[in-house]
Chains A and B, each alone.
Chain A
Amino acid sequence: MKSLEELKAIRERMQGQVEFRAENSDQIRVVVGMATCGIASGARPVLTTLAEEVQKRDLKNVTVTQTGCIGLCQYEPIVEVLEGGKDKITYIKMTPEKAVEVLEQHLVRGQVVEKYTLNETRL
């Protein structure tokens, strides 16, 4: 059995190098809808993929969080990208693969992946 004691070693290694994330205007918030509708349509793998990719790439300016139902259940899983001074971008019908694409194009390079946005979809 793996034991929590390993966390002591992680703490020692990380002592001093932990930077508290400054909540400034450069901070990008990525919000995944995790209500019943989101979960039923596959939001969990989208959320875990985004969280893991952000950790892996060490994107200090990106925070992945969750929210409830935003009332567009038929377009779940929904991922919103909120960035200071910019319009909110709503990505719909996400999958882990699409989420990685959004992360690489939008979160890293600043290019909105239009084809997955709510605006591009004829409602």
Chain B
Amino acid sequence: MFPEISLHILDIAENSIKAGATRIEIEVLRRTAERKLTVAVQDNGCGMDAEQLAGCTDPFFTSRTTRRVGLGIPFLKASAECTGGSFFIDSQKGRGTQIRAEYVTDHIDCIPLGDIGATVYSLILMNEAIGFFYRYGVDERQFTLDTDEMRALLGDVPFASREVAAFIREYLEENQKETDQEEIL
């Protein structure tokens, strides 16, 4: 099991990368009054057929016909469901996969979100050819990051160059703080 929800998101997004996705959308939405945290990952990768889809939440599903099957999905499902939350997965062969997990945040077994900024940062930096869309929301406040927009503004300056990488880190950190409405100087 993972100690942070953000590590589950990284792990699920790694599945999308292995599935050959060119666009990956990640959403983290907190509804404080309902004490719910929803995380979602959607990709346009190779997807799964009905049999793989049915088996992928079973940790003992041992098909070696695809590398998309492993412990990552059962882990996420268990970590959301053990808080009284829910798990949803849908996939279509050749179209992509979408996964959504809902956590009940005041349940004693609910793990913290953790460093979601580090998850998004490392995904963007390590996968410059993949388009990432990220949305982080708390109640009615939110911010987004779209790497296609970044690419358009940057031309051929790589994301992994020092200044751009530092900008991505700060952008994620500062905007999350403001969305969380913690006090900033």
Contacts and interface: CB of A to CB of B under 8 A. Distances in A.
Contacts of A120: none
Interface string B152-173: 0111111011111111001100
Contacts of B10: 34, 39, 44
Interface residues of B, number: 42
Contacts of A48: 118, 121-122
Contact of B150 (A4, A13, A65, A69): A4
Contacts of B149: 4
B71 to A, nearest CB: 5
In terms of DSSP, what is the predominant structure of the interface of chain B?
Answer: helix
B153 A8 contact: yes
Contacts of A39: 2, 7, 10-11, 14
Interface string A5-31: 111101101100010000000000000
21 contacts: A1-B178, A4-B150, A6-B167, A7-B154, A7-B164, A7-B167, A10-B157, A11-B157, A35-B14, A36-B14, A36-B70, A36-B72, A40-B7, A44-B10, A48-B118, A48-B122, A51-B160, A51-B165, A55-B160, A58-B162, A66-B126
